[in-house]
Structure formats: C-alpha cells, structure tokens
Structure 1
Amino acid sequence: MEPEKNSEGRVVAFIDIGTNSVRLLLVQINSNGSYQPLTKQKETVRLGDKEFIDRILQPKAMERATIVCKKFMELARAYRAEEIIAVATSATRDASNRVQFLEMIKKEANLEVCTISGSEEARLIYLGVSSGLRLGYSKVLFIDIGGGSTEVSVGDQNQCYFLHSLNLGSIRLTNVFLPDETGPVSEERYDQIKAHIRRKTVDVIKELSKYRASSAIGSSGTIENLAKIAFVYLHKTTHESFEKLEYEDLKKIVRAMCALPLEERRKFPGINVQRADIILAGAAIIETLMEELELSEITVSKRGLREGLLVDYISKSEFSYMVTQMSVRKRSIMQLGLACNFDDEHAHIVASLALELFDSIQALGIYEFQESERELLEYGATLHDIGTFLSFDTHQAHAYHLIRESSLPGFQPEEIEIIANLAYFHRKNTPKKKHPNLEGLSKEAIKSIRLLSALLRIAEGLDRSHSGIISHVRFYIASTDSLVLEMHAQRECQLEIWEVEKQKKYFKKMFGYNLQSKVLIEQATGTPLVFEGNVEIEGNVEIEEVPRE
C-alpha cells in the first residue's frame, strides 16, 4: 500500500545506523510548529558482528546495513521527505574501514551519513529520552546500552551536566567473551564479563556518584527486552509492567538464562529471539552499573537517539521555542492541539477562564483541590475541542479518543484519562459515576473528572461565541447556600449567560451551592449601555455597566 502523500508541512527523515540495528523515524513538521510521526522502522543488521576484535566491519554486515538504508531511503522518498538526517554510531566510528562503508552507503543507497562521537551520541540520547519525561530540576541518570557502546549522562529537564560514552556494548562484549558460544554460560564466565565492566567503569562511576541523581532512566532494545523478560518470566501483574526493571528481578532472570544453551535461551519467556545470543552481555552491563551505583530499579524509556535527532532539529529551527520555552507536558498538549488544527485562541480563553474559576473556588475554601488538578484542568480545557476537525456534532467523543490514543510524553496513564474525560464531558453528557468512560479509574480520578468538568463546562459556555467577550470571571459568596458568578464582559453577552444557566444544576450537584449570575459590562466612560435581545433566561441575572480602565 502506497503511503498517503502529505500536502502540508515538510517531511524529514531521521536515520540512526547503530551497531545492532538501523532505525528510521519519518516526521511531518507542519507550518505551525506541530509535528506528526509518520512511521517508525527498525531492522536488525548486526553491523558490529565480529568487528570488535580487529576493528573491521565485515563485508556481509556492511551489505546488510546498506540494503536496509536503501529500503529506508525508498520509504522516505515515498513520503516525499525533503530532508534526510543520518548518523552512524559505535560500530562505524570504531571501524578502520568506516570510509569504505560510508562510501558504499552513499553509492548504493544515495545516503550521506555523518559519524558522530560518543559524547554527541550521549547528548542526543539525553535529548530524546528527557524530552518525553517530566523531570523539572531533578537530576536523573540516563543509561543507554547499545551494541557497541553504553552512553551515560546526568541531566534535568533543562540541561545536561555530564556526558560520557563507554566502549561497552552487548555485541562488543559478546564478541570478546562469548564468541560462538552455544552452550550455557557458566557463573565464572559471567563474573569475568562483570569484572571487565567494573574495571572499565571505575572512573565514570566515581564521577556519576558526585551528582547524586534522584533516579535512573534506561533506554535501548537491551534494557527494554530485559524488562519484558522480567515481566513475563516472573508473572508480574501490575499495570506498570515494562515501565521498570528491578535489580532483584534482573539477577533472577540472568541466572535462569545463563543456565540454558543458546537454542533453549531463544525460547525463554519474553525474549526477543534476535537478541538471545547477546542479551547476557547486555545484562552484565546494566547489572554491574546498578550494583556500583546502588540502583534498586531503572525506569524504562522507549525513546532514544532518533527522537533526540528530532528534538535537536526542532531546537535549531524557527520553532525552537517549543523545545526551549515549554515544559515537556505543555509541549505535548500544544503538539496535539496544533496537529488537530485546533482553535488556539478559543482554547486559550477557555483555559484561562477555567483556571480563574478554579482559583476562585479554591480561595473561597469551598473545595480544596490538589495543585496537580489545576494543571490537568488547564490541559483538558486546552484540548476540549480538538475533535471538531472530524465532526462537530460528536467532537467531544473524538477529542476523548484522540487524547487517549496519543502518547502525550510527560504524563502518567491516569492523568491522560482525566484530560481525555474532561474533553469528553465538556458538553452534553455529565460524568455519572457508572459511565463506561470511568470504568477502571480510581475513586480520586473519578472525583477529579466530575468536579473539574463542572468548572470546564461553565468556562466553555463563557466563550460560547468564540469571540472572547468575557475577559474575567470569579465566584463570591452571596449566602450560606449561594454563590455569585461575576462575569466581566466587553459587551452584551446573552449567549454566554444562557450557556452558564444550563450548568447551574450540575454545579450545585458537585459543589452544593446555588449559582447566581452577575454581568459587569465594561464600557468606555460616558458610553451608554446597550443591552439588546430577548433571550429567555431562567432565574435572575444582574447586569451593571462599569467604566473600562
């Protein structure tokens, strides 16, 4: 099937030629700064096979890599990629015949490849992984185990403090310690590998210890597969499944895999068959680092170098503010909104009004929200209308599915559920406790959705005409059972008043207060108040004219 051609924006291809695999990321970067991954591809080529003894890339390995690069270039052309950025890492940079290999790729695949240093590889991995996490100012240790090298770095959301590349990789160590090994791996042999790793990492361990990182993030196929093996083999049942790799679990699965010959190891629960011969050397690296750095667990990330290439590309473009001036969570929300071509002005107005309602009700002591709920309300309000490009009549349902199916880097699964449900319940149905959308969510999450949606429904109604008539809004107490919703309007706002009236019943159900409306129309001094229209409104609405500052 031929891929759909893209008429808007530019398509950029990012290719990572690693020691074990070649990876492709094709992205459409739109004129508004949003981007959409079009496809991700990965092919195992074992470029570093039998290389690390004499530092020569083998002819068959070079041929395999070149064929894959040619295939990826054809795919990039099918998507009409305007720019292709390709880098090669450990196997290529260490090879004495790398020039021959790069010329082969240029000739056969028509691809220019840049060989990057170990520290640049570490920097790009840090960018790729950290851009998908909410780190703040917490220093985090990043570990990426490749086929030829292991990159370590320490950084927070904004900057990297330490970068280093170790000549330790799953293929490299397998070549040296387990060449042509088809039987079980003895405890003594495994300990030899670990002892070698310990000697090679002494200085780096000392340096890393100085930073006192609060947690560790692991990336790469080796770490991902070890986490999956631990999950499947040890029959874990938590929903976190592959998100973490615990040290005690790692030791158990390593012992079990070492006891098996290669053919049996290929059948080990959860293992990637293509990694069976190199998984133990990779496990030795991460196990040794966890021991020396006293790490009880590592969080697993599926992001890496190719995502780092994308972040680096955007940071050097006219959309650099998306990377430099936004938190990872805000960037995730804006990316999704822009990708859906949302009405960003309306989204901003509704979000601002929703936050004013939140802050006002909190200040009155009517309900004590958590700080995290304020942020989720803002994001739910920002994305509430993103489904309109599919269908206006059911856009709340489309928004719900779009949000749930987006990875939204930086958010936990339950936070995504809350944001999606706020979008779903911003109009029409209210979130009854037994609604199918709420099945499986915690009581706290359901309560957040019900209370926050009451505020969002009012905020959305306050910009019903999408013209920004209401500039500010607040609650104040009228009596023991009543609140006044004070709206500052720039002109007559019958439609907005009408929409607010519809929400009073649900507001009382959630917060226990009757709601009265008061409109302050901001007119230039001396200008007569004009109030037109015969909209029929339930209850009393007080309307005053106030001088505009």
Structure 2
Amino acid sequence: MVIRKFAAIDIGSNAIRLLINNVIEQENKPPAFKKSELVRVPVRLGEDAFLRGKISEKNQNRLISTMKSFDLLMQVYGVEKYMACATSALREAKNGREVVERVRKEAGMKIEVIDGKKEALIIASTDLKDIIKSDRMYLYVDVGGGSTEFTIFDKGKPVMSHSFKIGTVRILSNLVDDTVWEEIKTWIKTNLPIDGRVEIIGSGGNINKLHKMSGRKIGQPLSYIWLNAQYHFLNSMAYEDRISELGLNQDRADVIIPATKIFLNAAKWSKAKKIHVPKIGLADGMIKTLYYQ
C-alpha cells in the first residue's frame, strides 16, 4: 500500500478553502480518495471584485496570509503536489493578475485563474457513481459566491454545462437582475425534459450546511418541499438570529438565503423533487485532476 497526499486550494468569492486528500494506492485496486483535512477561511473577495471592481489592499494581505498558512500546513502534512484555482472574484477584478503575481512573489504560491467553463469541467470530473443512475437525468448545480455552474448528466456522463454570473455574494450586493434568472430558466427548460426524471445534485458550502441542518443521513437527499419550507423559515429570521439561534457562522448566515433560492429555482424549473448532496465540489475535482495528470 502507498499513501500519497495531494492538496487543492479553492479561492472563491466568499471563502478560500484548502482540501488535503490521501490517495491510497493498492495493487490490483483502483485508487481510493479520502479527505484528510479541510480548512476554510472567510476572505470575501467577491465584495471587492463585484462592488468596487478590484481587490482591496486589506483583502490582498488576508489572501497572502492565508496562502502562507496553507503552504505551511501542506508542508506539515507532507503534500507532494497542490493545485490552486481562483474563480469569478479574481477573474473579474481589474487587478486580478496583479494580485496573483503578488501572491506568487510574497507567498511563493502559484494560482491559476480559471473561467466558468473550466470550473464546470473540473467539478464534473468528481466521482458521482454512487448517486447517478443510468435511467435518470441529473442537473448538477454548484453555487458559489460569484458564479453558479450547471452541468447536465445523462446516462451517467456529463453532456452539457454552463456557467452563469449569479452567486450568493453577487445577489447580496444587488448585482443580479431578472434577466439572469430568465436566462437560467430558459437554459434549463430548453435542455432538460420536464417529465419528472430529473434530479438535482447540489454542491457548495451552503447546500452542505442545509443538509446538515435537515438532520438527514449522509446519502439521503433533500426534498423540494423541505427546502422550500426551510427557505421561508430562514428568510423570516433576522441575520443576528441566524447566528445566535441556529449557530451559523457570520459569513454563512447571510449567503445561505440566496443560495437556497438558486437551488429552489433550479428544482422548480427542472421539476426535480430530490436534491442530492454528496458533499463534493471544485476542490474534489481539482484533486482528481492533479492525481490523473
């Protein structure tokens, strides 16, 4: 048996995450991927990028400190290779390239800024065989802070994907108008059969938190009815109460509502009654990409 360690750093619009994975290699067996450590730092780069058009000095410094700490953690864990990807916030910031270069110089860390199409492809490379059934179609919805990636799976394989400029931080900043919602609705209704065969696979920190709040076991899907009721329940509470009464982190207590709205609309327009939550996403896809490269 050989145990190798790989790491993925997902630099999102709402938070920065480090995922460290053990990859267990055994003779005559496929490699097994086991999560070893997940660290999340709430550096909200999206507020800078979407509202002011550039990453502030303060958040640049926080990003550099985060990357330095992640580098130390990877050394301690004995990570042999890492991949760091930045999504819509650094992609859209006017000084995005400058920030990436500053991180390289001051933290010694290389960041790849990926577009929505590549983001969707990496997400689609995650292992979903335990969920996907060949007689159903699935709409994979990955909700981020600045963008949401939609991927259609048919007969167990990804057949189509699209990235939309809609995300939790963008919605909170009042930067999403009705035309974007209409574009998503049209895309879903044009590319999916509305016959009850479609189920949703959700990824992102918010749907993972919602699944945990539901009390359901791992592998048990959320229902559209429960998610709709939870949306109205959360929306009826003050931001402070979501923190004090529900125990949500302050950077989760606001974004969870727009995230729920995105999942609800996707389910409504696709006529999906079930939302599977496998708790995998971009970082998991990055680990697979690294390993198989």
Same fold? TM cut 0.5: yes
Q: Work out whether 1:299 is the aligned partner of 2:273.
A: no
Residue 76 of structure 1: aligned partner:
74
Taking the TM superposition and a 5 Å limit, the aligned residue runs for 1:369-408 are none
Q: Work out whether 1:199 is the aligned partner of 2:182.
A: yes
Which amino acid counterpart does residue 9 of structure 2 have in structure 1? I
The SS at the match of 2:78 is coil
Residue 247 of structure 1: aligned partner:
224
Which amino acid counterpart does residue 258 of structure 1 have in structure 2? N
Q: Work out whether 1:284 is the aligned partner of 2:261.
A: yes
Which amino acid counterpart does residue 66 of structure 2 have in structure 1? V
Question: Which deviations, in whole Å up to 9, do the C-alpha atoms of 1:60-86 show, x marking residues without a partner?
Answer: 222222221111111112233332211
The SS at the match of 1:49 is helix
Partner Cα separation in structure 2 for residue 242 and residue 29 of structure 1: 22
Partner Cα separation in structure 2 for residue 56 and residue 14 of structure 1: 24
Residue 52 of structure 1: aligned partner:
50
Partner Cα separation in structure 1 for residue 274 and residue 105 of structure 2: 45
**Do 2:200 and 2:267's aligned partners in 1 also have CA atoms closer than 8 Å?**
no
**Do 1:15 and 1:86's aligned partners in 2 also have CA atoms closer than 8 Å?**
yes
Which amino acid counterpart does residue 198 of structure 1 have in structure 2? W
Q: Work out whether 1:215 is the aligned partner of 2:199.
A: yes
Summarize the Cα distance change of 1:34–1:241 in structure 2 as closer, same or farther, 3 Å threshold.
closer
Which amino acid counterpart does residue 227 of structure 1 have in structure 2? H
Which amino acid counterpart does residue 65 of structure 1 have in structure 2? L
Question: Which deviations, in whole Å up to 9, do the C-alpha atoms of 1:232-254 show, x marking residues without a partner?
Answer: 6xxxxxx5378323222222222
Partner Cα separation in structure 2 for residue 28 and residue 251 of structure 1: 37
The SS at the match of 2:84 is strand
Residue 391 of structure 1: aligned partner:
none
Shift of 1:137: 6.2
Residue 211 of structure 2: aligned partner:
227
Which amino acid counterpart does residue 257 of structure 2 have in structure 1? L
Residue 98 of structure 2: aligned partner:
100
Shift of 1:11: 3.1
| Farther off after superposition, 78-87 or 298-307 | 78-87
In structure 2, the gaps of 5 or more residues are none
The SS at the match of 1:48 is helix
Partner Cα separation in structure 1 for residue 249 and residue 208 of structure 2: 10
Summarize the Cα distance change of 1:78–1:300 in structure 2 as closer, same or farther, 3 Å threshold.
same
Residue 23 of structure 1: aligned partner:
17
Shift of 1:34: 3.4
The SS at the match of 1:51 is helix
**Do 1:20 and 1:45's aligned partners in 2 also have CA atoms closer than 8 Å?**
yes
Taking the TM superposition and a 5 Å limit, the aligned residue runs for 1:333-412 are none
Which amino acid counterpart does residue 271 of structure 2 have in structure 1? E
Shift of 1:172: 0.9
Residue 165 of structure 2: aligned partner:
167
**Do 1:53 and 1:176's aligned partners in 2 also have CA atoms closer than 8 Å?**
no
Shift of 1:10: 4.4
Q: 2:31 aligns with which of 30, 34, 40?
A: 34
For normalisation by structure 2, the TM-score amounts to 0.86
Shift of 1:159: 2.8
Shift of 1:151: 0.7
Shift of 1:214: 3.5
Residue 286 of structure 2: aligned partner:
309
Partner Cα separation in structure 2 for residue 119 and residue 175 of structure 1: 24
Question: Which deviations, in whole Å up to 9, do the C-alpha atoms of 1:477-530 show, x marking residues without a partner?
Answer: xxxxxxxxxxxxxxxxxxxxxxxxxxxxxxxxxxxxxxxxxxxxxxxxxxxxxx
List, as ranges, runs of 4+ consecutive aligned residues in structure 1 with deviation greater than 6 Å: none
Q: Work out whether 1:14 is the aligned partner of 2:11.
A: no
Taking the TM superposition and a 5 Å limit, the aligned residue runs for 1:316-327 are 316=293
Shift of 1:305: 0.9
Summarize the Cα distance change of 1:194–1:301 in structure 2 as closer, same or farther, 3 Å threshold.
farther
Summarize the Cα distance change of 1:161–1:280 in structure 2 as closer, same or farther, 3 Å threshold.
same
The SS at the match of 2:244 is coil
Question: Which deviations, in whole Å up to 9, do the C-alpha atoms of 1:142-179 show, x marking residues without a partner?
Answer: 111111111110125753101111111001110126xx
Shift of 1:96: 1.4
Summarize the Cα distance change of 1:196–1:63 in structure 2 as closer, same or farther, 3 Å threshold.
farther
Larger CA Rg, structure 1 vs 2: 1
Summarize the Cα distance change of 1:77–1:92 in structure 2 as closer, same or farther, 3 Å threshold.
same
Shift of 1:30: 5.5
The SS at the match of 1:57 is coil
**Do 1:154 and 1:211's aligned partners in 2 also have CA atoms closer than 8 Å?**
no
Summarize the Cα distance change of 1:294–1:225 in structure 2 as closer, same or farther, 3 Å threshold.
same
For normalisation by structure 1, the TM-score amounts to 0.48
Which amino acid counterpart does residue 294 of structure 1 have in structure 2? K
| Higher relative contact order, structure no. (Cα contacts within 8 Å, ≥ 6 residues apart) | 2
Which amino acid counterpart does residue 289 of structure 2 have in structure 1? D
Which amino acid counterpart does residue 226 of structure 1 have in structure 2? L
Summarize the Cα distance change of 1:242–1:160 in structure 2 as closer, same or farther, 3 Å threshold.
closer
